[in-house]
Amino acid sequence: MTDFDAGAIRAVTFDFGDTLVPVSAAAFRAVVREAAGDVVERLRLDDREAFLAAWAEERDRQMREDVLQDGREMDMGRRFARLIARSRGMAPPPADVRWDDAAVDRAVDPAEVAWALDAYRDRWVAGIPVPEGVDRVLAGVASARRVGILSNWPHTATIEAVVDRAGWRPHLAAVVVSADVGAIKPDPAIFRAAERALALEGAPAGAILHVGDDPRADVAGARRAGWRAAWLHADNAGSPLPGAGRDPEPGAPGPDVEIGRLEEILEVLSEPPRA
Ligand SMILES: [Mg+2]
C-alpha cells in the first residue's frame, strides 16, 4: 500500500471482466456453445461439436501467438474467419506455424464473420448477467470524476453492448478496449490511449486511478504507467478469463488501495477531487 491521496484523483477507469462483470466458467461455456450453435446453423457448417473443438484450438493458438508472442489482443473476427474456413475443409496449420490468413479471407465472406460476431455478442449480453450494484458505483464515481472502462477484450462491440444494455453509457467518458488499441494491459501504451480518451493527456502522475482484479495487467500496469491502482480481490477462482486468479509478479509495483467488493471504491473516493 502506498500513500494514497484521493483528492488528487480526477478520473477512474474500471477493468471489465471480473471487475465490473464477474464471469463464471459455466456461463461462459454456455455462451460459447450457444454462439457456436448459431453460427453452425446459420452458415450451414459441419456439426457444432467439431466447431467447438476447433474453437478451443484456435483460441489457444491466438493466446499463444497474439498475446504471449506478439503482446497484442486476440481478434474474435479473425478467430471466426479461421473457424469458418476450417469448417469448409481448410486444414489448420501445425501448432508452430501461423495461419495463411490471406487464404482464409479468400474462403470466407466478411459478411459471415460479421454475422458470427453479432451472434457471439448477443449470446454474451444475454448469457452473462451484470450485477445490480455496478450502476450505482459508476454513477457515484461519475458524480465527481471522469469514469472509463479500460479492458483487455477481444471484441469491442460486446463490451459496448453490455454498456448500453446495463444503462452505464451516461456515466462513461471513455470505453477503451485492447481490441481497438492493439496493445494490452500491462503495456503502458493502452494506459496512454485511455488518457487520450479521457482527455487527460499530460495530467499529473497519480491523477487517474485504475480499478481491476488482475495484479499484473491492472495493478502493476497502472502503476508503471504513472497511475494509481486499486486491486479488487475478486472471488474469480472459477473464472475462465486469462487474468483470473493470477498472483502478483514478484517485485512489481503493488496496489495503492485494496478492496474486497467493488462498492468499496465509493468509500475510497469519498473525498472529492481538489481540481
Ligand atoms: Mg479482469
Please give the Cα distance from 14 to 108 (Å, whole number): 36
What Rg do the C-alpha atoms of the chain give, in angstroms?
Answer: 19
Ligand 1 centroid–CA 160 distance in Å is: 16
- Kindly report the pTM of this predicted structure: 0.94
Would you state the pLDDT for residue 2? 60
Mean of the pLDDT values across residues 30-34?
Answer: 96
Q: What is the dihedral of CA 256, 262, 264, 265, to 10 degrees?
A: 50
Domain locations in the chain as residue ranges: 6-23+129-268, 26-127
Question: Which DSSP string corresponds to 202-262?
Answer: TPPTTSEEEEES-IIIIIIHHHHTT-EEEEE----TT--STTTTPPPPTTS---SEEESST
Residue with the three cell numbers 470466407: 108
Mean of the pLDDT values across residues 6-10?
Answer: 96
Ligand 1 centroid–CA 105 distance in Å is: 32
Say which CATH superfamily domain 6-23+129-268 falls into. HAD superfamily/HAD-like (3.40.50.1000)
Would you state the pLDDT for residue 203? 87
Q: What is the pLDDT of residues 84-136, one digit of tens each?
A: 999 999 999 999 999 999 999 999 999 999 999 999 999 999 999 999 999 99
Mean of the pLDDT values across residues 43-62?
Answer: 92
Contact 1, 230 (CB under 8 A): no
Ligand 1 centroid–CA 51 distance in Å is: 27
Q: Where are the alpha helices (DSSP H) in the chain?
A: 25-43, 48-62, 76-87, 101-107, 110-127, 134-142, 156-166, 178-181, 188-197, 221-224, 264-268
Would you state the pLDDT for residue 3? 79
3-state class (DSSP) for residue 80: helix
Please give the Cα distance from 91 to 199 (Å, whole number): 46
Answer yes or no: is pLDDT of 208 > 80: yes
Report residue 8 CA to chain centroid gap: 27
Ligand 1 centroid–CA 19 distance in Å is: 5
The number of CA neighbours under 13 Å toward the Cβ of 50 is 11
Ligand 1 centroid–CA 213 distance in Å is: 5
